[in-house]
Amino acid sequence: MEHIVIIGNGIAGITCARHIRKNSDAKITVISAESDYFFSRTALMYVYMGHMKWNHLKPYEDWFWEKNRIELKKAWVETIYFEEKTLHFSSDETMKYDKLVLATGSVYNKFGWEGQDLEGVQGLVSKQDLELLEKNTKNCKKAVIIGGGLIGVELAEMLKTRNIEVTFLIREEAFWHNVLPIQDAKMISEHIKSHGVDLREKTELDKIVANENGRVKSIITNSGEEIECQLVGLCTGVKPNIDFLKHSALETDKGILVDEFLQTNIKDVYAIGDCSQLKQPLSHRKPIEAVWYAGRMMGETLAQTLTLTGNEIPYKPGNWFNSAKFFDIEYQTYGNVSAKPGDNEMHFHWQHKDNTKAITIAFDANSNKFLGINTFGIRMRHSVFDQWLSENRKIDHVLANLKQANFDPEFYTHYEKDIFKSFKENLQKA
């Protein structure tokens, strides 16, 4: 019986395993050193905040794996001997595979700052990071978070629930402005500040200072200011977790390089999820997409290739979408809205006066083609926007039919008329 081994029990690896099982009776082993069972990484924050317990993070009950004959192995892979198709574990055990799927995920970035390895300095990606955070915040009164991305704002929210003062350093002039257009970014910045977070725009970390015990005592910003703190959160993005593969025959760049079939340069070895890097991504997608959804879709796709003989299926993700929550403001995006639009991309921005709801719609300056939407505080229907994007609808159509896309709960106030009016007025001005 063919033995498919998957390294990594995150969303990519587990989705792949589940879909393989749907099609095939192959022996499936999923290896992880992080946790006994698959859990939702995106929900780590809720355990720290007391919304959920660890067991709630597990999307499948523990009996699920045995029932579906997916073997789970808790072990750390030290080396892979590709020629012998053998894994070597840190325990000196070995394991043979016929096909290998690498789904090792991400680790957080460290950019060589002075003091980055001190006690009390950490990122937040893994279960172990969360456990460390519990330890590090035991007697913590003040924290500094470096980097204005999704994990940074989550960490800020988490720490605020423990009454820890938070200073949040971001490089851009507003939160996540490398992804969000400026009005969106500014609204979120204000919202973060309204939660009592000391958000410092255009401020970067220079170095981290230790106390006599080798723990973090303070940080110094690039403007020379010293900020006292007992915790430093490193949230300046993540990178593929591939260090253990660096000196092997496997072709890597930032991530493990894969072709359109998610296959590496070595036969029968594949890479999916955060750790993979597409050699030729589709025009509307990036080579590395470290998001839940991409991991899931790669898992779905690869499972087909692995189980259909002679029928390789290329990874062809559809229109881009993503979501997040910034404290109380939910964010969804469909299609592409540039943070800094060029001449060919126009933006229409509407914001509610309470500054918790806004939309930004991107459209082609010449053809009026709808390119994408950011929506804050108003839920939108994925299927409707997906259809409009695929049908190349124009912005007029989108705005005239916006109500169809509303996904807010019943009885919520609707803003479509307001949005439509605002759009017309802005057009007349322009």
Partner 1 sequence: MSKIEHNMSLTAEAPAKLSTTQRLASGIGLVGLFILVLAVANVNFPNKTLFLTLSLGLIAAGTIIFANDLYLGKHEGIKNDGVWFKSLSGRGFWAWILGICLTLFYVVLYWYPQYLGLNADGANTGIISLFDPLSQFISGNPASQWFVYGTLYTLAILIFGYKFILKYRNNRYEVIRTFSVMFFQLGFAFILPEILIRLNQPYYNPANIWPLNYDLFTDYKINEFLSAGNIGVIMLAFGLISIFVITPILTYKYGKRWYCSWVCGCGGLAETAGDPYRQLSNKSQYAWKIERWVIHSVLVFVTVMTIAVLYSFLGDSANDFWLTKDVFLWGAAGFLTFLFAVIMIFKRKELAKDAKYGAIGYLVVILSIISINYFSGNGNIFFFGGYQLREWYGFLIGAAFSGVIGVGFYPIFGSRVWCRYGCPMAAILGMQQRLFSRFRITTNGGQCISCGNCSTYCEMGIDVRAYAQKGENIVRSSCVGCGICSAVCPRGVLKLENDDMGGRINSEEVLLGNDVDLMDLVNQKSK
Cβ 163 to partner 1 shortest distance, Å: 5
User: Does residue number 304 form part of the binding site for partner 1 (CB under 8 A)?
Assistant: yes
Q: Is 47 helix (H, G, I), strand (E, B) or coil?
A: helix
Q: By C-beta, is 113 or 315 nearer to partner 1? A: 315
Pick from 26, 75, 95, 164: which binds partner 1 (CB under 8 A)? Answer: 164
Pick from 4, 5, 6, 19: which binds partner 1 (CB under 8 A)? Answer: 19
> What is the DSSP pairing of strand 358-364 with strand 329-335?
unpaired
Cβ 202 to partner 1 shortest distance, Å: 26
CA 173 to CA 199: how far, in whole Å?
11
User: Does residue number 40 form part of the binding site for partner 1 (CB under 8 A)?
Assistant: yes
CA 426 to CA 421: how far, in whole Å?
9
Q: By C-beta, is 56 or 424 nearer to partner 1? A: 56
Cβ 377 to partner 1 shortest distance, Å: 10
Nearest to 44 by CA among 35, 285, 86, 273: 35
Considering only residues 118 to 157 of the shown chain, the ones binding partner 1 according to CB under 8 A are 130-131, 134, 137-141
Pick from 277, 323, 351, 360: which binds partner 1 (CB under 8 A)? Answer: 323
Q: Is 260 helix (H, G, I), strand (E, B) or coil?
A: coil
User: Does residue number 23 form part of the binding site for partner 1 (CB under 8 A)?
Assistant: yes
Q: Say if residues 5 and 31 touch (Cβ distance below 8 Å).
A: yes
Binding-site string for partner 1 from residue 86 to residue 125, where x marks contact by CB under 8 A and - marks none? ----------------------------------------
What's the first-to-final CA gap in the chain, in angstroms? 67
Candidates 46-54, 216-224, 256-264, 392-400: pick the segment binding partner 1 (CB under 8 A).
46-54
Candidates 74-82, 118-126, 345-353, 401-409: pick the segment binding partner 1 (CB under 8 A).
401-409
What does each C-alpha distance from 24 to 21, 264, 313, 388 come to in angstroms? 5, 22, 16, 36
Structure-block tokens of residue 379: 């839920």
Amino acid (1-letter code) at residue 257: L
Pick from 204, 293, 345, 400: which binds partner 1 (CB under 8 A)? Answer: 293
Cβ 173 to partner 1 shortest distance, Å: 24
Q: Is 63 helix (H, G, I), strand (E, B) or coil?
A: helix
Considering only residues 186 to 225 of the shown chain, the ones binding partner 1 according to CB under 8 A are 194-195
**Rg of the chain taking only CA atoms, in angstroms:** 23
Q: 102: left (phi > 0), else alpha (psi -120 to 50), else beta?
A: beta
User: Does residue number 25 form part of the binding site for partner 1 (CB under 8 A)?
Assistant: no
Pick from 99, 217, 296, 393: which binds partner 1 (CB under 8 A)? Answer: 296
Element of type H or E holding 329:
strand 329-335
